[in-house]
Amino acid sequence: MATYNQVRGGCRKEQRARRPVSPALVGRPCMKGICLKVSTMSPKKPNSAERKIARVKLSTEKVITAYIPGEGHNVQQHSVVLVRGGRSQDCPGVKYHLVRGAMDLGGVPNRITSRSKYGTKKPQKST
């Protein structure tokens, strides 16, 4: 433990500020954006797939790359989408996710589990 004289002399170091995980959102939970381009990218080793991504221009004029979760989507150029933070673990440079079931991006059809994450309505019971 530091003595009084050591603390008075200035022995304590200030902690460096952490870099934000989703810098373009600037502390917001979500932001609106417009799709500029929809494409696919291949993930890092050792994974192999075609991840669906979109280049999105946010309402602050910043252009970011966002991941489109779930199976199938209806996003195309000029679609209005809602962007949240959260990186895609195996896609370099993708630090954002699109929110399913919000604005022009529809929910995942025929989804049974984890429906709230994919914007799917509760299926009606047939009697």
**C-alpha to C-alpha distance for 8 and 106, rounded to whole angstroms:** 60
Q: Are 93 and 65 in contact (CB under 8 A)?
A: yes
pTM of the model: 0.85
pLDDT at 1 over 90: no
What are 82-109's pLDDT values in tens digits? 999 999 999 999 999 999 999 999 999 9
Q: Which CATH class is domain 23-108?
A: mainly beta
Torsion-angle region of residue 126: left (phi > 0), alpha (psi -120 to 50) or beta? beta
Q: CA 103 → CA 13, 24, 33, 44, 80, distances in Å? A: 47, 20, 10, 30, 6
Whether 54 contacts 68, CB under 8 Å: yes
Tell me the pLDDT tens digit for each residue of 42-57: 999 999 999 999 999 9
